[in-house]
Every structure is written in structure tokens, then in C-alpha cells.
Amino acid sequence: MPFETIANDYGLIGKVAIVSGAGGPIGKGLDEGVTNGRATAILLARAGAKVCVVGRSPELAQHTVDLIGMEGGEAFAHVADVTQEADCRGVVEATIKRYGRLDCLDNNVGRSAPGDVTEMSLEKWQSMFALNVDSMMLMCKYAIPAMVASGDGGSIVNIGSLRSIRPLKSTVYTVTKGAVMALTSTLAVDHGAQGIRANCIILGPVFTPNINRNLTPERRALRTAATLTKREGTGWDTAQLARFLLSDQAKFLTGQSICLDGGASMIGPSR
């Protein structure tokens, strides 16, 4: 199928997207060793969007840009710590300066931490909220006015977790990802009249390089067994759904939290 035909299917040609967490560690090839943010940036570019690739590591963010460039897509890397308000403002300003508009925001940052409330320091609790929740709020704070100014509204995707509805051994992660769901629905209500859509992807057992560092083969087998599809997801699965939600194909879909979990929420806890 010609590239132009694929791009026309999504209505993303000429649109501009910011993808945070689009650097990240490099896995063993792009089949399953790809982060959610990197895969999303690549698929958005394949559909004709111009992408601001946001990451803390200049080398890893540029790696994503290079992969996009190899396929003929357009992107640039922007180094930022999205827990910092000035950096979030800077991401949006750099994107507008480069491309003149903003249409899509994909918030991919997040991290887990073990322990219940009796084991959690206040400092760790607050740092997890800064990364998992504050970063998304701050990116939206500056992205939404830019989207409205662009004239065609915009679409936001926030990455949540199955642990928000199936808690398992990480209280602060469960609470912060629950907050991401609430933030998403509130964004949809507050800014729908401005043409802004917001949706959340609730990720289940998705295998990425970040996850790989903490998983034994035994745990991977348990994750696979916990799904109806009998396989783990990959960053590409996340990216396929994110691209749909950000595209014109989903223009009547907003305020939703959608499980991407191979059916794990139907039969067992997240792992």
C-alpha cells in the first residue's frame, strides 16, 4: 500500500505532535524491544505528522528522530525534564517555533515504585506524583492553548496503567495512574468546547525495554498467562491505539480510559 494512502487514512498529514518519553532505552531490535513513546512517534510520522520527540537523553531522543528520518518522516529532538514547568513550556514553544502549530500531545512518561504506604517516604511519594501526574498536567497546561490557537482543536493521549484498577504491590503507582485517568476525563470536560479531545490508554502487560530490566522469564510467563490473547503486548500495540486516538478517525471519542491489556482485566490481576 502506498505511503500516501496509509497517511490519508488517519488524517494526520501536516499535523504536528509532541510525544514525551519518546527516547528511552533501546531494546533488542524494533520488534518488541521498543518503548511506547518511540513507537508512537514513529507511527505518527509514518501517518504524515511532524513530531517533536521529547526525552531526557539527547542521544536517545535523537535515535528516535534518526529512525523516523530513515523512513522519510519529519521530526526533531527536544531535551526536557517534563517534571519541570519551564521545560514543559519550552517543549511547546520549540514545537510552535519549528512547525507553527500543535495538534497532538502524547504523554508517555511514568515509573513504578514498590511498597505500600507504610514503606513509602514522603519524598518518594511526591517524586512519583511529579513524574507520573504533574508532568502530564504541565504538558497539557501549555499544549492546550497552543492547540486552540492552531485553529483545529487537538487531541491528547495520556498513558495509564492496569494497576490503577487492579492494584498490585505498588501503592503510589496505583494512586498516580488513577489520577491520570481522572485528569484525562477532566481535560475532556473542561476543554471539549474548545475542540480538545483527551483519552487515556490503560496499559496491561506490555513488554518494553523499561519493563525488561525488571522481569524474569518466569514473570513474563505469568504476564502472558494472565491475558486472553496469550501474549504480551509491545510498544507497537500501544502506538497503534495512540495513533488512532490522536487521529481524525477518533474525532467523536473523548474522555475515555481504554484498557490495552490482551484481556488481562477480564481474568486476573496486572503483573
Q: For this structure, is 173 an active site residue?
A: yes
Q: What is the pLDDT of residues 218-238, one digit of tens each?
A: 777 777 778 787 888 899 999
Q: Which sequence spans correspond to the domains of the chain?
A: 3-259
Grid coordinates belonging to 35 = 518503548
- Strand segments, DSSP code E, in the chain are 16-19, 50-55, 74-79, 104-107, 154-161, 196-203, 206-207, 233-234, 257-260
CATH homologous superfamily of 3-259: NAD(P)-binding Rossmann-like Domain (3.40.50.720)
Query: b vs e for 41-59, b when ≥16 Cβ sit within 10 Å of the residue's Cβ?
Result: bbbbbbbbbbbbbbbbeee
Residue 51 pLDDT > 80, yes or no? yes
pLDDT at 3 over 60: no
pLDDT at 218: 76
Average pLDDT of the chain, as a whole number: 90
Query: How do residues 147-186 score in pLDDT, each as one tens digit?
Result: 999 999 999 999 999 988 887 778 999 999 999 999 999 9
CA distance between the termini of the chain: 38
Q: What type of residue is 86?
A: A
Q: Taking residues 102-111, what's their average pLDDT?
A: 94
Structure confidence at residue 262 (pLDDT): 81
What does DSSP say about strands 50-55 and 16-19: parallel, antiparallel, or unpaired? parallel
What integer pLDDT is reported at residue 233 of this predicted model?
83
The model's pLDDT over 185-208, given as tens digits with 9 standing for 90+, comes to 999 999 999 999 999 999 987 887
